[in-house]
Amino acid sequence: MSTKTSIAFIGTGVMGRSMAGHLLSAGHELHVHNRSREKAAALLERGAVWHDSAGEAASRASVVVTMLGFPRDVEETYLGPGGVVERSRDGALLIDMTTSSPVLARRLESAAAARGLQAIDAPVSGGDIGAREARLVIMVGGAEAAFERAKPYLAAMGKNIALQGGAGAGQHCKMANQIACAVGMVSWIEALAYARRAGLDPARVLGSISGGAAGSWAMTNLGPRALAGDFAPGFYVKHIRKDIGIAVASARELGLDLPGLACAERLYDKVAGKGWEEFGTQVLYRLYTSL
């Protein structure tokens, strides 16, 4: 995109710093805030401007993008005193890319509209690899006009971008994604645990089954990490547990029983009980190898 836009990016963690970097590479003026400044250091070296609060960063931009950890962080950042909604410029576009609650997404859009702002929920899938390679899947909820305005910025960070419906629809789509991810993670980890217990070489089994009907992105990308004992986070256990909790609550509101998701929830609760919440989701394999 040739037009330079002032963008505030709030949340420069494992995924956020890569996403913000793509906006910087696209030629935009970038204002950043994160709880720990060191995680924004690489962006600052490239010319991004640091701000001591999310509200301050928002006050300098016409587009605000957030990539945070938990719904409570989103609520505080947007709706708290001196937050994004209060301090954003008139007519600003707010893009929350955090995986959060559909109910909260609707609250944010309503609060933004009351101030003459546009807001969309745009959670992503693809993990640290997708963020680095700018090929995230981006699931959007909100008004079509806001979506059209956001598309050029979203296109700098992802490849598969779709408007799912009104406010909160992006979060509902992400919940569907996370249900598939959480339950799918259990399936391929159990397959590798079975292969190991049967005396097979799990890596060789992985090579055989990942390219067939049993294959998945997670199996292909996280399976080798799990087998190598590499549990560094592309996506944290603490975050999948948060997402599972939102999905369980949303399913309950919809009157839907999801036993596969309940199983994944129990297993990741066990993982957390081992003190492994700061590891990547593939650490679930370690639970089976320690049995």
Residue 13 lies in a domain: yes
Listed residues 148, 165, 182: the one ending a domain: 165
Q: Is the pLDDT reported for residue 287 higher than 70?
A: yes
Asked whether residue 18 falls in the same domain as residue 156, the answer is: yes
Predicted confidence (pLDDT) per residue in 59-87, tens digit:
999 999 999 999 999 999 999 999 999 99
Range of the domain at 272: 172-289
Tokens at 25, concatenated: 């590479």
The model's pTM: 0.90
Q: Let me know if residue 259 belongs to a domain.
A: yes
Residue 281 has pLDDT above 50, yes or no: yes
With b meaning 16 or more CB within 10 Å and e meaning fewer, what string describes 36-73? eeebbeebeeeebbebebbbebbbbbbbbbbbbbbbeb
Contact 18, 75 (CB under 8 A): no
Residues 144 and 265 in one domain: no
Q: Are residues 157 and 243 in the same domain?
A: no
The end-to-end CA distance of the chain, in Å, is: 53
Query: Contacts for 29-38 with beta carbons within 8 Å, 24 or more apart?
Result: 29/4, 29/5, 29/61, 31/6, 31/7, 31/57, 31/60, 31/61, 32/8, 32/57, 33/8, 33/9, 33/57, 34/10
| 251-259 mean pLDDT | 95
Q: Within this chain, do residues 139 and 189 fall inside the same structural domain, yes or no?
A: no
CATH code for the domain in which residue 187 is found: 1.10.1040.10
Tens of pLDDT, residues 172-210: 999 999 999 999 999 999 999 999 999 999 999 999 999
- Residue 291: the pLDDT is 54
> End of a domain among 165, 193, 215?
165
The residue behind tokens 């209060």 is 86
Residue 180 lies in a domain: yes
Domain limit, last residue, from 130, 146, 165? 165
Q: How many domains does the chain have?
A: 2
Looking at the fold, whether 150 and 182 belong to one and the same domain comes out as no
Torsion sign across C-alpha atoms 240, 245, 246, 250? positive
d(CA 34, CA 242): 20
Active-site residue list:
174
Predicted local confidence at residue 1, as pLDDT: 42
CATH number at residue 113: 3.40.50.720
Q: With contact defined as beta carbons under 8 Å apart, do 204 and 192 qualify?
A: no
Q: What is the pLDDT of residues 126-148, one digit of tens each?
A: 888 899 999 999 999 999 999 99
CB–CB of 146/121 below 8 Å? no
Residue 3 burial (C-beta neighbours within 10 Å; 0-12, 13-18, 19+): exposed
